[in-house]
Amino acid sequence: MKHLAVIGCGGWGQNLVRTTHELGFLAAICDTDPARAKTFADTFGVPALSYDEILDNKDITGVILPVPAPLHAKMALQAIAAGKHVFVEKPIAMKVPDAQEMVDAAKKADRILMVGHVLQYHAAFVALTKLVADGALGELRHIRSNRLNFGKVRTEENVFWSFAPHDVSMMLALAGREPVDVKAHYAADLPQSTLAASASAYLDFGQGLKGEIHTSWLNPFKEQKLTVVGTKGMAVFDDTLASDKKLTFYPNSVDFKDGQPVMNKAEAQHIGIPNCQPLTCEIAHFAECIVQNRSPRTDGLEGLRVLKVMQACDKAAGI
């Protein structure tokens, strides 16, 4: 069962190391800091190896790459060339041609390439997609995502690239298609930084469906809310609430009588969801896809589609 190596034990990497170990899949770790590598190796009872040693190890079938985004393409391509399956954190790469090269290499080598869009593995979002697929909301008309907080301000990427890949990923999954038009506005609200601390994007998916994404490091309170509006009902995924209230369905609708809108408000319904940590579900999915040789929910092509939207937003914002 121990067949995965985690490359990078920094901030988010620590969570991936712990989760992979808890699932019984952790075979080795790698980190550029020898002291940190030894600490994690001792803590989880696995060897600390160099990246080359991991790529040469035939017992390690997959690598997990929570490394800086500019390294994603290079390290993923090295792993694929060495015959490894690859889980790479978001974004898949910094440039579309690099991401396309990763997708093509994985396909040619018959290796799995999975992107860490972890909210796609959140039980509340999985239940939300089922509501949409079952027609409970009718035809989708509007999707709005607010991902706001006070910090943590990053220095290597703006707020949109820090937060929005998750929202773009969820929105594309719900829409079932890519946007036909994108508008965006970024604001460098901190006087000592040129990076955007708040950013909004507006996506037109055609056929009457619009989406909007709002992100900020300078909001006085934390908000992680996805609202989906359809012709038969509405749903809200609020990740700041308790698990039994994270997903709420509102069977609200609007009729027209004599040319005037009539608002039909119904009682809200909380949707029960399984108790599974999204990261746990995500890593388990990666391992299952390796064993069963099937494409992940957030495969390389999905990561490529998200990257294209992200870059379209940059262009629309004048970046």
| pLDDT tens-digit readout, 25-83 | 999 999 999 999 999 999 999 999 999 999 999 999 999 999 999 999 999 999 999 99
Which residue from 203, 163, 213 is spatially nearest to 183, judged by alpha carbons? Answer: 203
> Mean pLDDT throughout 138-157?
90
21: pLDDT strictly greater than 90: yes
Distances (CA, A) of 102 to 69, 73, 111, 142, 173: 14, 7, 10, 33, 21
Question: Each residue of 263-316: pLDDT tens digit?
Answer: 888 889 999 998 889 999 999 999 999 999 999 999 999 999 999 999 999 999
Query: Could you tell me if 253 and 233 are in contact, meaning their C-beta atoms sit under 8 angstroms apart?
Result: yes
Q: How far apart are the C-alpha atoms of 163 and 166, rounded to whole Å? A: 6
190: pLDDT strictly greater than 90: no
Give me the half-sphere count of Cα atoms (radius 13 Å) on the Cβ side of residue 92: 30
Tokens of 209: 């469906």
Which residue from 308, 300, 286, 313 is spatially nearest to 113, judged by alpha carbons? Answer: 300
DSSP class of residue 241 equals S
Which residue from 296, 300, 288, 152 is spatially nearest to 217, judged by alpha carbons? Answer: 152
Q: Hey, CA dihedral for 24, 285, 73, 154, is it positive or negative? A: negative
Backbone φ, ψ for residue 206 (5° rounding): 75, 175
